[in-house]
């Protein structure tokens, strides 16, 4: 939605003058609606090559080595508090990376089924 320009925004306010709702023109509503994927797992706005790069992404060798070392220390019960924090951070990053990889693969799969121009369209048959 970056770069989206809305034409006219009006607010509904309460008795105290605080904003409680937004009124958009139909054109602005359609602009916002088209910018949001109806399937939140789809990664819209990325090229196929960018999606492939995400889908095949992995930790750098340096980070893989450090993660392996931290896992070994943890398994042997010799991990320090600071190293445990590092391990937790690494594992959170790996989880995020795996989620992003899965979303990239899913988006590519959907594009293969429907074509790149139709990825963000709503599919009411599901």
Judging by beta carbons within 10 Å of its beta carbon (0-12, 13-18, 19+), is residue 104 exposed, middle or buried? buried
DSSP string of 59-91? --HHHHHHHHHHHHHHHTT---HHHHHHHHHHH
**Tens of pLDDT, residues 28-41:** 766 766 665 556 78
**Tens of pLDDT, residues 68-115:** 999 999 999 999 999 999 999 989 888 888 888 898 999 899 888 654
The structure's pTM equals: 0.56
- The CB-based long-range contact list for 105-114 (8 Å cut-off, 24+ gap) reads 105/55, 106/41, 106/42, 107/41, 107/42, 107/43, 107/44, 107/46, 107/51, 108/48, 108/51, 108/52, 108/55, 110/39, 110/42, 111/48, 111/51
Ranking 2-6, 42-46, 60-64, 92-96 by mean pLDDT, the lowest is 2-6
Domain ranges, ordered by start, for the chain: 1-36, 40-126
Look at residue 69 in the predicted model and tell me its pLDDT. 96
């Amino acid at each position: 939605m970056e770069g989206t320009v809305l034409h006219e925004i009006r607010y509904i306010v309460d008795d105290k003058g605080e904003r409680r709702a937004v009124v958009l023109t139909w054109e602005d509503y359609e602009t916002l609606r088209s910018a949001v994927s109806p399937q939140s797992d789809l990664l819209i706005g990325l090229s196929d090559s960018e999606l492939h790069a995400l889908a095949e992404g992995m930790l750098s060798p340096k980070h893989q080595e450090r993660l392996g070392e931290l896992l070994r220390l943890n398994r042997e019960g010799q991990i320090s508090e600071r190293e445990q924090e590092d391990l937790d951070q690494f594992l959170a990053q790996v989880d995020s990376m795996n989620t992003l990889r899965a979303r990239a693969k899913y988006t590519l799969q959907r594009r293969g089924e429907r074509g790149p121009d139709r990825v963000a369209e709503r599919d009411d048959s599901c």
